Structure 1
């Protein structure tokens, strides 16, 4: 009798070679197939995630599109020529901008010589920079500094001389008593 064989009856083509050949080719091919499969799975998963995010953010995307269209429409409207806007002027600088010929006095047809503005009037009109923000000095009818000056932002008042120099120890909260 013949002795029983202890191996598979059929062998794969890679196993059918001679007995001394190494069988490493199938492992390399299996690794390549596995790598390509994983890569394809990652690409498909990425596309699926992108589609899901686009679908879940559809409302926000629509909102952004409508805002963008609105901004474009406003941009087109802005190029249309509009009438100039009136600018607000501080009331204490109003006499500086009034035309003297419209006050009702029609004395002479020759223009009055322009006099130079005093330092107080220049500061009140904003023509000269002042160290206190939002402060405009009050001037009397001669263009000198009024005796009492107040900074409304800090609710402080003080006394000054005609040249605007602060009198010592006169700064108080509220109105100052200037003699």
Structure 2
């Protein structure tokens, strides 16, 4: 009997141990699944809250929406913009009890700040920009001024990004085109026997051309064409000749042409 009772106790203890192990395992599995689903539950909760907020915003009147946007903008402004000394009201009426003085941005912002904190003060800045900034710097602590400078720097970057500056292209002066006479006259280097023509102020060939290497002179048209029969080493007088010859004059030689031109001058 004692052996059977001992065997029964062992069997009962083993069964109880197995049951406890199964319970612990089931609890662990339950905790694991709950942990896995907690992320999804949080996402669903946030989505539900977002939908509720959007639904409330749609139900708000249109006039209330711009004020909410302005409040969000004021949250991002530096603290120094909210702690400036205020000019007293001319009628003695609290500013927070009054509406905005006008539709200007500064009046709307002042009204909004006074609604949040009626004790806020704002200075009267009536000088130019640099003097007003100097006055503000004197009235602020170093920390507030650093915060204000940081805000101005970000605002400047925003303005530069909004309206990028265009590079002004400098006009490149056009190169002066040289005439044939000027090109030949300005040819660089020293070359024996090379003829360099003489040009007038317009770049045309002068009526009288001389070659220093040979000592000869001759008469020439404005386009550089040499008048035949005028080449000589003696004194030569070449009157101003037209750019082109008339047909009846082309039958004469260069010497006859000079005589004909002189006769025209006497007439």
Pairwise TM-score range, normalised by the shorter structure: 0.3 to 0.5
User: Would you tell me which structure has more helix in proportion to its own residues?
Assistant: 2
Superposition TM-score, scaled by structure 1 size: 0.34
